Amino acid sequence: MKKNIYSILKGTFLVSDDSFKNWRMILFISGLAIVMIASSHSADKKVYEVARLKNEVNEMRSAFIDGRSKLMRLKMESAVVIKMKEKGLSPSVIPPKKIKVKSQN
């Protein structure tokens, strides 16, 4: 047990005669670590992209609601009357009459 710990601390397991299998294992574990790190970076990028797109959707939704409320206010009869008064037009005092058209058959 003591011998194994000393060989790890001194690094003799890397330079001994049968060190080839140790180096293979170290390179394999290093490769797996690199793949794991790349995978986590990719996942983080996707999380940030989703958060950015969600913020963009919220901004566009609020702009849509704001535009729709402005349109509703502009379509109100009182707003139309005020705009027409600025141009010199006023609502009619005489109520409209229905025109009935009889067919010539």
* Structure tokens given for 4: 């194994």
Dihedral class, residue 33 (left if φ above 0, else alpha if ψ from -120 to 50, else beta) = alpha
pTM here?
0.56
Instruction: Give me the pLDDT at residue 42, please.
Output: 97
H-run or E-run covering 63: helix 19-75
Q: What is the CA radius of gyration of the chain?
A: 40
CB atoms within 10 A of CB 93: 5
Could you report the average pLDDT of every consecutive run of 10 residues in the chain (105 residues)?
77 73 86 97 97 98 97 91 89 88 82
Q: Could you report the per-residue pLDDT of 23-48, keeping only the tens digit for each? A: 888 899 999 999 999 999 999 999 99
